[in-house]
């Protein structure tokens, strides 16, 4: 045998665990620090790393683009469950009034509305002309509820005066959102509910409850509320408007849905029940209901009292679900 040649497969196996024979056939243990690395193993590892890098370079940008698109769609509300829920058609639920009964008829199961009212171009409002069915007596107790989504703050609704012509007459009350806080205004007194906050571009439930017996007004925003002494507000009433006045002053921009008007002060538990019903909820007390404007494709009154509204610069949109979460 020639010097320097490895003499068997057994010797090769020993090399793999760090042992090596010298050329004089005398086995000498070589330190593991000088052990040779198997080139086959190294090449396999290198090929795996190269393959991983090629995969990332090929598909990484595609994965990143898909992630960005998904985030954008989510922010637009495309994956909002409200988009896939069945929708109530205009007039699908209403109050039937006759000598025998006063009750809800139709599909009154809280389905989401197909449309909501959109207020964009000032002046934008819905006018409900003074009618005997609406409270007109001085200091009459009342409750008004609505679902709103404001892009810019302004007047949500107003019941301001006792005549049928001039909507600018002072008196009565106006629910206005100013600086994210609701307040009632009658040209003389203002009631600021600074502890309550209304956010932009989010659907929120609002209610105003005036109690004649205590002469107090309570404003609700979702499940929060604040009560203040009335200071003479609510003493006049007549025309009722939704979304603003017939002037450019305090015109809001955004969406309004499901406005309900009662001629009594609803209890806190009743208000919370209305809130829990969601944006498609039916009235909770039909005997004291004097006006109900779902604003689901029109300004008709479905309370059975025929207090239909007349819209100005108001449209109806089915693309409203962004910013809405069921209570």
Q: pLDDT digits over 91-114, tens only?
A: 999 999 988 889 999 989 889 999
Q: pLDDT digits over 181-203, tens only?
A: 887 766 566 777 888 999 999 99
| pLDDT of the residue at 224 | 94
- Predicted confidence (pLDDT) at residue 243 exceeds the cutoff of 90: no
As a whole number of angstroms, the distance between CA 275 and CA 207 comes to 9
Q: Which residue has the tokens 């090449």?
A: 43
- Predicted confidence (pLDDT) at residue 13 exceeds the cutoff of 50: no
Q: pLDDT digits over 278-303, tens only?
A: 999 999 999 999 999 999 999 999 99
Burial label for 207, CB within 10 Å (0-12, 13-18, 19+), is buried
Largest interatomic CA distance in the chain: 125
Inter-CA distances, 27 with 24, 30, 214, Å: 8, 9, 108
- Predicted confidence (pLDDT) at residue 320 exceeds the cutoff of 50: yes
**Residue 193 CB coordination number (10 Å):** 23
Inter-CA distances, 169 with 31, 130, 158, 164, Å: 103, 14, 11, 10
Angular region, 179: left φ>0, alpha ψ -120 to 50, beta rest:
left
Residue scoring higher pLDDT (14 or 319): 319
- Predicted confidence (pLDDT) at residue 125 exceeds the cutoff of 70: yes
Length of the chain: 327
CB 147 within 8 A of CB 321: no
Share of the chain above pLDDT 90, in %: 37
Domains observed in the chain: 86-317 (2.60.120.200)
| pLDDT of the residue at 246 | 56
Q: How far is CA 275 from the centre of its chain?
A: 13
As a whole number of angstroms, the distance between CA 27 and CA 40 comes to 25
| pLDDT of the residue at 128 | 87
Q: pLDDT digits over 30-89, tens only?
A: 444 445 555 655 565 666 666 767 666 776 667 777 777 766 665 655 555 555 567 889
Q: Which two tokens stand for residue 228?
A: 């203040």
Output the CA torsion sign for 49, 54, 57, 63. Answer: negative
As a whole number of angstroms, the distance between CA 286 and CA 313 comes to 30
Residue scoring higher pLDDT (154 or 222): 222
Q: Which of the listed ranges 137-141, 209-213, 254-258, 261-265 does the model predict with the highest average pLDDT?
A: 254-258
């Amino acid at each position: 045998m020639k010097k320097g040649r490895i003499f068997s497969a057994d010797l090769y196996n020993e090399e793999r665990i760090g042992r090596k024979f010298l050329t004089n056939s005398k086995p000498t243990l070589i330190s593991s620090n000088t052990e040779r690395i198997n080139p086959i193993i190294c090449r396999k590892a290198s090929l795996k790393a190269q393959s991983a890098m090629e995969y990332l370079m090929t598909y990484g940008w595609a994965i990143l683009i898909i992630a960005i698109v998904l985030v954008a769609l989510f922010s637009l509300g495309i994956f909002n469950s409200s988009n896939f829920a069945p929708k109530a058609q205009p007039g699908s639920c209403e109050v039937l009034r006759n000598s025998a009964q006063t009750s809800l008829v139709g599909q009154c199961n809280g389905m989401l509305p197909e449309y909501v009212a959109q207020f964009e171009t000032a002046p934008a409002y819905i006018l409900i002309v003074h009618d005997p069915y609406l409270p007109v007596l001085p200091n009459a107790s009342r409750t008004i509820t609505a679902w709103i989504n404001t892009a810019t703050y302004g007047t949500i609704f107003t019941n301001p005066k006792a005549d049928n012509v001039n909507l600018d007459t002072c008196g009565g009350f106006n629910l206005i959102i100013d600086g994210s806080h609701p307040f009632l205004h009658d040209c003389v007194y203002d009631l600021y509910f600074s502890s309550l906050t209304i956010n932009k571009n989010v659907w929120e439930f609002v209610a105003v409850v005036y109690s004649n017996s205590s002469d107090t007004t309570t404003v609700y925003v979702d499940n929060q509320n604040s009560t203040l002494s009335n200071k003479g507000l609510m003493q006049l009433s007549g025309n009722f408007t939704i979304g603003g006045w017939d002037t450019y002053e305090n015109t809001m921009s955004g969406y309004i849905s499901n406005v309900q008007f009662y001629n009594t002060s609803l209890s806190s538990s009743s208000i919370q029940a209305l809130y829990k019903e969601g944006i498609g909820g039916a009235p909770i007390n039909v005997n004291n209901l004097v006006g109900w404007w779902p604003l689901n494709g029109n300004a008709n009154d479905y309370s059975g009292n025929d207090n239909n509204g007349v819209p100005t610069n108001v449209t109806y949109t089915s693309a409203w679900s962004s910013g809405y979460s069921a209570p």
